[in-house]
Structure 1
Amino acid sequence: MQRRHFIALTSVAAAATASNGWAANGDKYPSKAIRIVVPFPAGGGTDALARAVGQRLGTVLAQSVVIDNRGGANGLIGSEAVAKADPDGYSLLLTIASHTIAPAIYKKMPYNIDKDFAPVSLLAKYPYLLTVPATMPVNTFSEFVAYVKANPKRVSYASSGTGSGPHLGMELFAAAAGLDMVHVPYKGAAPANNDLAGGQVQAMLNNLLAASAMLRAKKIKVLAVTSAARSPALPDVPTVAESGYPGFEVDGWYGLFAPAGTPAPVVSQLHRSAVQAINAPDVMERLSGDGAIVVGSTPQEFAAFVVAEKTKWAAVAAKANVTVD
């Protein structure tokens, strides 16, 4: 009886210690620098957000936060690094919607997104913008749909790469509207936008950050946004849903993950700290520049969101026959 009582007291003490931020080895978490892996090159939108969040997260946690850019293979290389990292809370992944698209399009994956990651928080969501060249003879969403239907296989759309959110988002829209367009993948949003402005391609699902320079120069125009509600950054632009396709919703997003097996108290602390970080005025300003809205979901809510996104994109990829070797 005494031994059982001792074990019970020990368990309670351990749980209390963990809830106060102590790691299993007795060190208070965090006791050293935290690494946030961004699975894309430096200088992009995800990198810029990660640096803003990382700086604030470091302030909240009173510890250094280092951004580690590991681009390549549409995010697979950096994501694999975190999937195989020690589950101690010191290696994190800040990534985007392509994370949940990858399992649907790659024949071989170096990790399992269901088993190798612990969701921390859905940090923010942002709409895609249906953009066309300024010279294109359409000015509304319905006119665009009519134009494409009148020109089957003659309208091409750009994306930042095969399997990206803008690629499969456009495939989902094309299926909903019964459109027959040609996909032209680019290595990033910048060259895609250059060709969009020049009229070499006729449409693209953009984000506000990538499209802003071309929009200001009036070289491209926005016909609709893909979010469920209108974007606060573009309140006069209608949604796809209110333009004749109720229920249509495609969002870009930023999410934070830890390796699977990271202690639950550490994940909880990271969640609370990340929510504080993204609600800091400078980080919110950075997010608004991308037309994004802060979410800050719980780990459980984010886990459910990941499952729903993975299921949705698997169906879209299968219908459009999108695969990458």
Structure 2
Amino acid sequence: MKRNFVQLAVAGIGLWSALVGAAVAKYPDKPLHMVVPYSAGGGVDNITRVVAKGLGTRVQQPVVVDNRPGASANIGANLVAKAAPDGYTMLVGATFLAFNRATTKNLPYDAATDLIPVARLGKAPFVLVVPATLPVKNVAELVAYMKVNPKTASYGAVGAGAPTNLIFPKNTGTKPIQVLYKGGATAMPDLIAGRLTFMIQTASEVLPLVRSGKLHALAVTGTSRFYALPDVPTMKEAGVADLESTGWWGVFLPAHTPAPIVDKLSDELQLVMKQPDVIESLHKMGIESAPLPAAKFKPFFQKELKSYDDVARQFHLVVN
């Protein structure tokens, strides 16, 4: 009986391996879905549409961009975490995965265990921007303005626990009012109109508005100046410490997706991110193509999770 059980188990494993092998050999043989957990027009959406086009060309299958905004990006992230682990539903994630996990109680998914890091796509600094009509020309003047107007100074945020939005007021001695939005694009009309005092947002979302003169850039995060805004100082140069982190974007799949599918998708995305037209398109948006394969993206993501956990403890953050 024991021998028969072992033989059946071995046969079952062999059959499963054969089925997985067949699935990988055909993958992908139907449309892929890239879930964007924000509204259209924001930083995550912008890079996704460029990557989706390139990926579709490579794999010869339609790649559908599926915007699922809401709950600080948790609706879209949870949708992917609960999706079938077959490689056809992927999440385009960013720093929100780390700070949501660190600051939000009772999430229906765990970014550390329910999602598999597949490939990093790109990176860019965050940019501190103000309405062009606001009478400030630099960070020092913005800080002075907010201290004179403590009851009306406000900022737009996508995710209540974003470290940049917490560290900036703390390290400048200001207390602006936080206004939450489902995506950066939905906040821009209020910022341009002056209903918000400032935002610290990814470069790809604000760069076109800075170039058009609707917004004024005061500083960028990171350790060096941003190629697209060479005359704009870093936060450190502007006198604000501890704001050197930058934004990034990456693709994730549901946990338990077979490793061969993860590796195959990772390989395809590495090639997409090295295509000259993709690099050029992202460069114009203010995004640097910065691909990492699954083997390197995983430790990078784990480091991000720890970093945001540290910030959450430092600021005693719990959103709900």
Alignment of 1:256-267 (within 5 A): 256-267=251-262
Separation in 2, partners of 1:23, 1:257? 23
Alignment of 1:24-63 (within 5 A): 24-27=20-23, 28-33=25-30, 34-63=32-61
| TM-score normalised over the length of structure 1 | 0.81
Instruction: State the match for 1:169 in structure 2.
Output: 164
Separation in 2, partners of 1:209, 1:193? 13
Q: CA RMSD, aligned part only?
A: 2.9
Alignment of 1:95-174 (within 5 A): 95-148=93-146, 150-151=147-148, 153-154=150-151, 156-163=153-160, 165=162, 168-174=163-169
The structural deviation recorded for 1:281 is 2.7
The answer to whether the 8 Å contact 1:82/1:91 transfers is yes
The structural deviation recorded for 1:23 is 6.5
AA at the equivalent of 1:262? T
The structural deviation recorded for 1:113 is 0.9
Q: Mean alpha-carbon deviation: is it higher for 233-242 or for 284-293? A: 284-293
Q: 1:107 to 1:267 in 2, by over 3 A?
A: same
AA at the equivalent of 2:56? G
Verify: 1:223 aligned to 2:218, yes or no: yes
The answer to whether the 8 Å contact 1:278/1:284 transfers is yes
Separation in 2, partners of 1:157, 1:316? 22
The structural deviation recorded for 1:122 is 1.5
Separation in 2, partners of 1:143, 1:246? 17
Separation in 2, partners of 1:76, 1:208? 22
Verify: 1:188 aligned to 2:187, yes or no: no
> What do the CA deviations read for 1:207-263 (whole angstroms, capped 9, x no partner)?
334334543443321110112221111111111123334553132221101122223
Q: 1:37 to 1:214 in 2, by over 3 A?
A: closer
Question: Aligned with 2:252: secondary structure?
Answer: strand
Question: Aligned with 1:296: secondary structure?
Answer: strand
Instruction: State the match for 1:92 in structure 2.
Output: 90
Count the aligned residue pairs: 305
Separation in 2, partners of 1:196, 1:64? 36
Verify: 1:203 aligned to 2:198, yes or no: yes
Q: Mean alpha-carbon deviation: is it higher for 285-294 or for 208-217? A: 208-217
Separation in 2, partners of 1:248, 1:155? 24
Question: Aligned with 1:289: secondary structure?
Answer: helix
Separation in 1, partners of 2:85, 2:39? 24
The structural deviation recorded for 1:318 is 4.7
Verify: 1:71 aligned to 2:69, yes or no: yes
Instruction: State the match for 2:3 in structure 1.
Output: none
> What do the CA deviations read for 1:188-211 (whole angstroms, capped 9, x no partner)?
334533333333332211333433
Separation in 1, partners of 2:26, 2:239? 51
Q: 1:62 to 1:245 in 2, by over 3 A?
A: same
Q: 1:44 to 1:178 in 2, by over 3 A?
A: closer
Q: Mean alpha-carbon deviation: is it higher for 283-292 or for 250-259? A: 283-292
| TM-score normalised over the length of structure 2 | 0.82
The structural deviation recorded for 1:320 is 4.5
Instruction: State the match for 2:289 in structure 1.
Output: 294
The answer to whether the 8 Å contact 1:30/1:63 transfers is no
Query: 250, 264, 274: which one pairs with 2:245?
Result: 250
Q: Mean alpha-carbon deviation: is it higher for 60-69 or for 269-278? A: 60-69
Separation in 2, partners of 1:318, 1:84? 28
Poorly superposed stretches of 4+, deviation over 6 Å: none
AA at the equivalent of 2:90? L
Separation in 1, partners of 2:124, 2:274? 16
Separation in 1, partners of 2:242, 2:36? 32
